[in-house]
Amino acid sequence: MSNNPSEPEKDLHVGGSSLSPNAAPANVFSLNTLLGIGLFGALLISIWVFGGFTPNMQTRLLSSPKGFEFRLYSTISLLFEGKMIALIAIAFGAGIVLFLRKHNEPGKPSRADLFIRRQFWMIILGLLNAVIFLWTQDVLFHLGIMGILLFAFFRASNRNLIIASVLTTMIFAGKHYWNYADDQVAYKKYLEVVALEKKIKQDSIANTARKDPTAAARPAMKRDTLTKDQKNDKQAWEGIVKSVKYDPKKDQGSIKEMRKHDYEKIYDHLLPLAQSREAQWTYRLGIWDLASMIFLGMALVGYGFFSARLKTLRYFLLAFAAIAAGLLLGWYRFYFQIESIRDYEKFVINHALPFNIFFSFEQGLMALGYTSGVMGLIKAGILKKVLRSLSSVGQLAMTNYIFQSIACTLFFTGFGMGYFGKLDQHQLYFVVVEIWIFQVVFSMYWMRHFREGPIEWIWRCLTYGKWFPLRRQIQSIDEPSPIAS
C-alpha cells in the first residue's frame, strides 16, 4: 500500500456492511475490535495487582511448578502478560497515523495542534486514573506521553517504521540485560568480599597460633575488618538473592494497608507506587516497551494491514507463525525463570543472559499474531457477532478502562468491599468475567443510542474546545475509534 492516504481501495465487507477503507471505517472497525480485545485481556493481568496476587505469590507458584494454580498462572502469563498492552499500543500507533493524515480544515486548528491537545488531555485523564482512582499501573499517562514523543514519525516510510520497531524492541531487551548485568557485577563484588573475609579469618588463625600454639585447635574468632563499602557489597547481593525467593511474610504489610477503611491512608500507601510507575518505569523501560509496538502499528497502517489488504490465508499463517514463535520464547522465559528461583547464585554463574532477555520479542510476536488472527477473522466473516460486540467495547475503550479502575478499586480496597488478598488466583478471574459481561452489555446498549462513550465525548470536546452532539441520530457501524478521531 502506498503512503498516500487518498489512494483508492476496495470495499471491505464486515458483518454484512460495506465499509470503505478510503474513509477509514474498515480501519476503524478493526482498531476498535483490537482495543476491545486488548482491554479485556489486559484486565486478566491487571486483576493480579487489584486483587493482591503479588509477584511474591507468583514466585511461590514458580518455586513449586505443579498443580492447577501454577498451570493456570503460567497459561495466563504466556497468553496475556505484556501482550495486551502491546496490542493496545499497536492500535494506538495506527490511530496516530489515521488521525494525523486527515486534511486540515480551513479556519480550524491543524491536525498536529489537535493531536497535541488530545494527548495532553489523555495525560490528565491518566493522572486522574492513577492518583484519584488509585490504579497504579495506569497506561493512559504513558500513551499520552508517547504520542507526543512519536507523532512526528507518522511521516516516516513503512520500512523505516519497521526498522524503528525492531531497534526499540532490541533496546528494550537490552534494558533487561542491563539489569541482569548489574546483578552479575553485584555477585562478583560479593565473591571478592567473601574471599577477603576468608583471608582475614585465616590470617587471624595464623596470628593467634604464633602467639599461642594451642589456639589453632580452638574455634577461630571472627574479626570484622571489612569496610563500609565492602559490607554494603555483601548485603546487596544477599538482598538480591532474598528478593528472588518467596517470602511468606512479605505481603502482610501491603495487605494490611489495602484493607484499611480510610481512603486517605490507602492513597498514601499507593501514591509512591503510582509515582514510580509514571516516572522511573517510564524513562527506564516504558518508552522502549511502548515505542516498539507504536512504531509497528504505524507501519501496519501504511501496509493496509487494518483495511484487510492481505489475503485471509496470509493473515492466518502470519498469526500462527507469530504466536508459535512467541509461545516458544515464553516457554524459554518460564523454564529459566523457574531455574533462577531455585538457585539464583547458580543461575548467575551458569547463564550469561537473563531469563527475560527475549520478553520484548515474545510480547511483540504474540501481539502481532493476535492482530493478524483478528484481521483474518474479520476478513473471513467468522464470529461476526463476537467481533461486533468487542468492537463496541473498543469504541468505549477509555470509558471501559476507567470503569475497570473504579470498579476494582471499590471491590478490593478497604474503603470499598475489602477483598484485597482474600481471593485465590482462579477466583480473581471470576471477577474479570463479571466485568466483561457487564461491559459488553453496557457498550452495545450505549452505542445503540450514542455516538461515543461518555469519557470519549468529554475528551473530544476538550480537544476541540466545543460541544459535540452525543446522542446518535442514525444508527451506523461506522463510528469513530477513540484513538483515531
Q: What is the residue whose three cell numbers read 493512559?
A: 140
Residue 476 domain flag? no
CA dihedral 419, 425, 430, 431 (to 10 degrees): 40
> How far is Cα 266 from Cα 264, in angstroms, rounded to an integer?
6
β-partners of residue 471 are 450
> How far is Cα 68 from Cα 293, in angstroms, rounded to an integer?
33
Q: Running along the chain, 485 residues long, what does each successive block of 10 average in pLDDT? A: 35 31 64 97 98 96 94 97 97 94 87 95 97 96 96 94 97 95 95 89 68 52 71 93 93 95 96 92 93 97 92 97 98 96 95 96 98 96 95 96 97 96 97 98 96 95 93 60 62
Residue 264 domain flag? yes
Residue 295's region, left for phi above 0, alpha for psi from -120 to 50, else beta, is alpha
Residues 6 or more apart whose CB falls under 8 angstroms from that of 93 comprise 150, 293, 294, 295, 296, 297, 298, 300, 301
Residue 240 domain flag? yes
Residue 405 domain flag? yes
Amino acid at 329: L
Residue 81 domain flag? yes
Q: What is the residue whose three cell numbers read 463496541?
A: 392
> How far is Cα 155 from Cα 100, in angstroms, rounded to an integer?
9
Contact assessment for residue 454 and residue 8, using Cβ atoms and an 8 Å cutoff: no
Integer CA distances (angstroms), 79 to 75, 161, 326, 327, 360, in order: 6, 26, 9, 8, 14
Residues 6 or more apart whose CB falls under 8 angstroms from that of 105 comprise none
SS (H, E, C) the chain: CCCCCCCCCCCEEECCEEECHHHCHHHHHHHHHHHHHHHHHHHHHHHHHHHCCCHHHHHHHHHCCCCHHHHHHHHHHHHHCCHHHHHHHHHHHHHHHHHHCCCCCCCCCCHHHHHHHHHHHHHHHHHHHHHCCCCCCCCHHHHHHHHHHHHHHHHCCHHHHHHHHHHHHHHHHHHHHHHHHHHHHHHHHHHHHHHHHHHHHHHHHHHHHHHCHHHHHCCCCCCCCCCHHHHHHHHHHHHHHHHHCCCCCCCHHHHHHHCCCCHHHHHHHHHHHHHHHCCHHHHHHHHHHHHHHHHHHHHHHHCCHHHCCCCHHHHHHHHHHHHHHHHHHHHHHHHHHHHHHHCHHHHHHHCCCCCCCCHHHHHHHHHHHHHHHHHHHHHHCCCHHHHHHHHHHHHCHHHHHHHHHHHHHHHHCCCCCCCCCCCCHHHHHHHHHHHHHHHHHHHHHHHHHECCCHHHHHHHHHHHCCCCCCECCCCCCCCCCCCCC
Task: Say what the pLDDT of residue 214 is.
Answer: 54
Amino acid at 120: F
Q: What is the residue whose three cell numbers read 484481521?
A: 375
β-partners of residue 347 are none
Integer CA distances (angstroms), 449 to 353, 391, 471, in order: 54, 16, 6
Residue 470 domain flag? no
Task: Say what the pLDDT of residue 23 is.
Answer: 35
* φ, ψ of residue 295 in degrees (nearest 5): -60, -40
> How far is Cα 168 from Cα 360, in angstroms, rounded to an integer?
9
What is the C-alpha radius of gyration for the chain, rounded to an integer number of angstroms? 26
> How far is Cα 421 from Cα 255, in angstroms, rounded to an integer?
6
Predicted TM-score (pTM) of this structure: 0.89
Task: Say what the pLDDT of residue 187 is.
Answer: 95
Task: Say what the pLDDT of residue 110 is.
Answer: 92
Contact assessment for residue 184 and residue 348, using Cβ atoms and an 8 Å cutoff: yes
Range of the domain at 161: 12-464
Residue 389 domain flag? yes
Structurally, how many domains does the chain consist of?
1
Contact assessment for residue 161 and residue 153, using Cβ atoms and an 8 Å cutoff: yes
Task: Say what the pLDDT of residue 108 is.
Answer: 84
Q: What is the residue whose three cell numbers read 520478553?
A: 359
The helix-helix angle for 68-80 and 83-100 (nearest 10°) equals: 20
* φ, ψ of residue 450 in degrees (nearest 5): -130, 155
pLDDT in tens, 124-152: 999 999 999 999 999 999 999 999 999 99
Contact assessment for residue 69 and residue 108, using Cβ atoms and an 8 Å cutoff: no
Residue 477 domain flag? no
Residue 151's region, left for phi above 0, alpha for psi from -120 to 50, else beta, is alpha
